[in-house]
Amino acid sequence: MVEEYSDEKLDEICNRVYGWFVEFQKSQYYEKLTEEQKEESDFVIMSFAEFMYSYHGLFPEEWDEDGLEECCLDTLPRKVCAEESYYKSISPVLSTFFEFLWERNLLKNAQRLIRRVKSIDEQIIKNAIDPKNWGIAKSFMMAAKKAGVDVTNEKEMEEFIALYNLLIEGSKGCDDLNPPVKYEKPKIGRNEPCPCGSGKKYKKCCGR
């Protein structure tokens, strides 16, 4: 039976994995990464750990090949708005991180996870750049980025949402916006339910 999701458990997992990441940064394994992979490593590791629990119900000690593959090929491409460098870094960063955890006896099935994540390296990237694999919230955010909107700027996002709605209502210009879904709220509160339908608070999901 899968345990019910809780913010407290997620926080505990994130704190534990971040502690591992801090030690990982000091190790010889971290030095194997390229500069680009090092820059992406924090986000790769923490988003993987968070989504493995949030969407697949797995604690770090329960990480398995099937959960890893589903998370990397479906959940992350569908949910995470990031540059291609993030997705190119997933396999090398995670495989190196798993090596580190295996040496420290923190992840028993690390070798199987390493083999699996290396085997899906190219597919991760393909899935991530294909808009057909994006969720509604990610599609909207990517459309905003494509339009040159600073997605961290509240005013710019409100203006983009208003324009987005007008284009849809007028049935013109919609081909450039993916997907054609109207957003009624100009602002999403951090503690409101995430519009992606995950059932979690916005700040714990796409708001990250």
pLDDT digits (tens, 9 = 90+) for 8-66: 999 999 999 999 999 999 999 999 999 999 999 999 999 999 999 999 999 999 999 99
Residue 40 tokens, joined: 């992406």
pLDDT of residue 173: 45
Kindly tell me if the per-residue pLDDT of 162 is higher than 70.
yes
Same domain, 80 and 25: yes
Q: Which domain holds residue 150?
A: 136-204
In a domain, 120, yes or no: yes
Same domain, 129 and 159: no
Same domain, 102 and 170: no
In a domain, 2, yes or no: no
Same domain, 71 and 144: no
Burial zone of 97 (CB within 10 Å; 0-12 exposed, 13-18 middle, 19+ buried): buried
pLDDT of residue 1: 41
Instruction: Among 75, 98, 133, identify where a domain stops.
Output: 133
User: 30-34, 58-62, 133-137, 204-208: lowest mean pLDDT where?
Assistant: 204-208
Residue 52 tokens, joined: 């493995």
Instruction: Among 82, 104, 133, identify where a domain stops.
Output: 133
In a domain, 35, yes or no: yes
Question: What SS3 class is residue 193?
Answer: strand
Same domain, 128 and 147: no
Tell me how far the alpha carbon of residue 49 is from its chain's centroid: 10
Question: What SS3 class is residue 179?
Answer: coil
Distance CA 160, CA 163 (A): 5
Instruction: Among 133, 155, 183, identify where a domain stops.
Output: 133
Write phi, then psi, for 197 (nearest 5 degrees): 90, 10
Same domain, 111 and 143: no
Same domain, 146 and 173: yes
Bridge partners for 183 per DSSP: none
In the chain, what percentage of residues exceed pLDDT 70?
78
Average pLDDT, the chain: 85
Same domain, 127 and 180: no
Top-confidence residue, 206 or 118:
118
Same domain, 151 and 74: no
Same domain, 170 and 153: yes
Our count of domains for the chain comes to 2
